[in-house]
Amino acid sequence: MYTIQDVSEKTGLTAHTLRYYEKEGLLTGVERSQGGFRQYSDEDLERLGLICCLKNTGMSLHEIARFVALTNEGEQTLRERVEMLREHRESVIARMAEMQRYLDKVTWKLNFFSGKLKEYEERKGSAS
C-alpha cells in the first residue's frame, strides 16, 4: 500500500490532483486506513497510469470518467470500451500526423535559416 505522498512521487501528480481524480470518479475504490488516510494499491497505480496516458493523449477528463464508469460496470461494457479506445487511438494517430507535418516544416525552416546564417557568417568573415 502507498500513501498519497508515495503516489504523488511515483506519478508526478500532486496530492490535490489525486484527490480531484477521486472526487471526479476517475480513480475509484481507493482504500482508507482506520485513520481515514488514503492507501493506494498497485492496481490503483496501474489505473492512474492509464488515466495519465489517456489524458496526455488528449482524452477529456469527462471521457476518462465515462471509460472508468464503464469499466466498473463490468464485462458487458467491453464493446463500448473497445470502441472508445479505438476512436481515441484514431484521434491520436491523426494528431501525430499533424504534428509530423509541423515538425517537417520547422525542420525545413531550420535548415533554410541555418544555411542563410552560414552564408552570412562566411561573407562577414571574408569582409574582415
Residue extents of the structural domains in the chain: 1-57, 74-128
The pLDDT assigned to 128 comes to 66
Q: Among all chains, which residue has been given the C-alpha cell 496516458?
A: 53
The pLDDT assigned to 120 comes to 94
C-alpha cell at 102: 509541423
Q: The whole model's pTM is what?
A: 0.79
Q: What angle do CA 40, 59, 67 make, to 5 degrees?
A: 60
Q: E strands of 1-128, at which residues?
A: 31-32, 38-39
Quickly name the fold that domain 1-57 has: Multidrug-efflux Transporter Regulator; Chain: A; Domain 2 (1.10.1660)
**CA distance linking residue 33 with residue 36, whole number of Å:** 5
Residues of the chain with pLDDT under 50: none
